[in-house]
Amino acid sequence: MKTLNDYTVLSNGVKLPCLGYGTWQSPKEDARKGVKTAIDLGYRHIDTAFAYGNEDAVGEGIRDSGIARDELFVTTKHWITDRGYEKTIKAVETSLSLLGLDYVDLYLIHWPCVEKVTPEWKEINAATWRGFEKMYRDGKIRAIGLSNFEKKHVEALMETAEIAPMVNQIEFHPGYTQMDNVKYSKGFGMAVEAWSPLGSGAVLKDEFLGGIAAKYGKSTAQLCIRFALQNDVIPMPKSVTPERIKQNMEVFDFEITGEDMKAIAAMPELGFSGFRPEEAPADALVNGD
């Protein structure tokens, strides 16, 4: 990863830029301005989700930037209330309409349905995926993938999938790397993306990381982003602050040594969100328990 313009080639040939701009927890107005700022600065990969409630604002930010559509890589995600074939098709149409786009570059199942929610979890994920496959074949989505899936959920999906998922987006940052899942997902042939590459800000005050970052004359945020890049994991740091949006792309002028990479990977758990797919955190949020 030498420049912001580097990319990973997905299993269907689509090019996924190696660093993205995240919008989780960005209120609409911040998302609109942040997306425009990021694109003006040179980001070409924007990540949102239906559940973030800001797809319309992200779309506005894209239009404000004036960028040509085919220069941009836009990801959004399917929400758990839209599980099933018909609902998935409608969900894609809703997200496209909110974004004001004719297609998205990548669409992800935000969370797997799991056994704790229903014994029919496999069938439900399979039906959702059939909806993904239809919209992919119809040209509404250039690449389809998963988020927060573990081996068990991927294997179950593959019992009926006609098209294999191309991406898995998981929580990944110093202090919580899920290396087993990273290895599994890559071995499967998926590109791995990091959500919360800065631990949602929770790892940025850590002294150990701060000490390593200082050696390179970089901020802890830049160290975390570079750590993902050097693990061949695609980070999408979120910031609504223009200086930070800029700082977060200035990560191609240094290289973390092998020794430091190992030390960061081995650090004790820090900044874990608490979200485990088998605990169905998203379903709990929706059902209110």
Residues that bind ligand A2P (rule: CB under 6 A) add up to a total of 19
Residues 6+ apart with CB under 8 A from 254: 216, 217, 218, 222, 226
Q: How far is the CB of 43 from ligand A2P (least distance, A)?
A: 13
Continuous H helices in the chain: 28-41, 55-65, 85-99, 121-137, 151-158, 179-188, 207-215, 220-230, 242-247, 258-265, 281-287
Considering the complex, state which of residue 1 and residue 240 has its C-beta at the smaller distance from ligand A2P.
Answer: 240
Q: What CA–CA distance (Å, rounded) separates 28 from 201? A: 20
Residue holding tokens 């929610």? Answer: 117
Q: How far is the CB of 170 from ligand A2P (least distance, A)?
A: 13
Where on the phi/psi map is residue 200: left (φ > 0), alpha (ψ -120 to 50), or beta? left
Q: Is there a contact between 255 and 215 (Cβ–Cβ < 8 Å)?
A: no
Q: Pick the binder of ligand A2P from 37, 114, 239, 260 (CB under 6 A).
A: 239
Q: Catalogue the active-site residues.
A: 52
Q: How far is the CB of 1 from ligand A2P (least distance, A)?
A: 18
Considering the complex, state which of residue 163 and residue 240 has its C-beta at the smaller distance from ligand A2P.
Answer: 240
Tell me the window of 62-70, 147-155, 241-249, 260-268 that interacts with ligand A2P (CB under 6 A): 241-249
Q: Pick the binder of ligand A2P from 244, 250, 267, 281 (CB under 6 A).
A: 244
Q: What CA–CA distance (Å, rounded) separates 133 from 48? A: 20
Q: How far is the CB of 219 from ligand A2P (least distance, A)?
A: 6
Q: What CA–CA distance (Å, rounded) separates 74 from 70? A: 10
Binding-site string for ligand A2P from residue 22 to residue 41, where x marks contact by CB under 6 A and - marks none = x-x-----------------
DSSP 234: E
Residue holding tokens 């912001």? Answer: 4
Cα torsion 5, 6, 8, 12: sign: positive
Considering the complex, state which of residue 128 and residue 219 has its C-beta at the smaller distance from ligand A2P.
Answer: 219
Considering the complex, state which of residue 9 and residue 265 has its C-beta at the smaller distance from ligand A2P.
Answer: 265
User: Is residue 117 at the binding interface for ligand A2P, with CB under 6 A as the rule?
Assistant: no
Q: Pick the binder of ligand A2P from 163, 164, 240, 270 (CB under 6 A).
A: 240
Residues 168-227 that bind ligand A2P (CB under 6 A): 196-201, 204, 219, 221
Q: What CA–CA distance (Å, rounded) separates 289 from 282? A: 10
Residues of this chain that interact with ligand A2P (CB under 6 A) are 22, 24, 196-201, 204, 219, 221, 237-241, 244, 247-248
